[in-house]
Amino acid sequence: MTGVRRISILGATGSIGRNTLDVVGKHPSLFRAVALACRSDWQGLVPLARRFGPRVAALFDEEAAARAEEALKGTGIKVLGGLGGLLEAASLQEADTVVSSIVGSAGIMPTFAAVEAGKVVALANKEALVAAGRLITREAGRTGASIIPVDSEHSAVFQALMGQDRSAVRRIVLTASGGPFFGKGPEALAGVTPEMALDHPNWKMGPKVTVDSATMMNKGLEVIEARWLFDIPAENICVLVHPQSIVHSMVEFTDGSTLAQMGIADMRIPISFALGFPRRIDLGLEPLDLTALGKLEFYEPDREMFPCLDLAYEALRREGTMPAVLNAANEAAVEAFLEGRLPFGAIPEVVRAVMDTPPVFDGDTLAGILKGDRMVREAARGIISRYGEHP
């Protein structure tokens, strides 16, 4: 790596954003934060901006932007508001790498903007590739943007593929922790509250991803993401439950070799990999102690108990706009669950219902996909409202 890499972080106040800043802060000779952006958490963003001194701070919420501007007066940091501000942070001329970690479909447009600007995109936002995978990978081909995954699973696959004979890949095996309800009977899912779903055994993540992990929709979205990141058909992507979350994923080759990437569950590992690629950064972490772990286990996922996984495979098979439909319907359902308006077990039911009579929209343009996203949410809300109040 020559010189300092200049990093723009979209979603700076979230879990990925803060871990990214931890890596950046510990390696000032390698990285500098030139833009920090988030949706609305100005009280979270202001101290980060003071500490890391980016040229730009951007907040999607205009009112939050005004408050941040007030708080950062005199620092020389330029505060931008609204979608325009977010997109400017995503395509900032002086940024080498854009960390795209705004959660949900709100991350689609900024991710596209970074790809359009030909940046190295460290991609943590899943939904962009799920909803607009064809569009984004085509645009990356046009602009020369490279997409380096930050998700631990896709980072693992990316690492395992480096320098290998790509024509000899037989399968990608994504591992799943199984979430907080792995191994419990179906009756355990009946009374799941947001608190229970948010109690993930291995990873500390934001609420949307944690609920997706509990339904295994997270793994389904990752299957779709993997299809676009690695240009591999759905039938060659499989999922194994691995409760220890040490093997982050694997690639199986035609000669019977499997390459796996392992590590402790610390997002700074895949983040620093994406920031430093192709160099690795010494993070000063304790080495993985496999003897202390005792054992690594692997199980087939329970597809009946976690129907979201098969819904994602179905969406990928049906192609076109269906992955975007799956994604938006799931997002609406998870939101409703977190707000107590939908039982946990109804999340796949809502997604299933929307996929059965999906809104029709143009999946080949960004505008069409964003419009479709709104249409699907509306359709999902109609279905959700029928569930009535949930304690």
Nearest distance in Å: CB 213, a second copy:
20
- 203 with 197: CB under 8 angstroms? no
CB of 126 or CB of 268, closer to a second copy: 268
The DSSP secondary-structure symbol of 187 reads G
CB of 293 or CB of 367, closer to a second copy: 293
Nearest distance in Å: CB 382, a second copy:
40
CB of 221 or CB of 240, closer to a second copy: 240
Instruction: Name the residues that contact a second copy, by CB under 8 A.
Output: 159-160, 162-165, 167-168, 170-171, 173, 240, 247, 250, 252-264, 266, 268-269, 272-273, 276, 278-283, 285, 287-288, 290-291, 293-300
How far is the CA of 325 from the CAs of 123, 134, 312, 380, in angstroms?
Answer: 21, 15, 10, 10
- 178 with 243: CB under 8 angstroms? yes
Nearest distance in Å: CB 348, a second copy:
24
Nearest to 169 by CA among 66, 256, 72: 256
- 55 with 94: CB under 8 angstroms? yes
CB of 58 or CB of 247, closer to a second copy: 247
CB of 200 or CB of 268, closer to a second copy: 268
Nearest distance in Å: CB 153, a second copy:
13
- 21 with 33: CB under 8 angstroms? yes
How far is the CA of 346 from the CAs of 102, 120, 271, in angstroms?
Answer: 26, 38, 34
Alpha-carbon gap, residue 146 to 155, rounded angstroms: 14
Nearest distance in Å: CB 15, a second copy:
18
- 351 with 311: CB under 8 angstroms? yes
Spatial neighbors of 200 by CB under 8 A, at least 6 apart, are 177, 179, 180, 210, 213, 214
Nearest distance in Å: CB 272, a second copy:
5
CB of 83 or CB of 264, closer to a second copy: 264
CB of 157 or CB of 366, closer to a second copy: 157
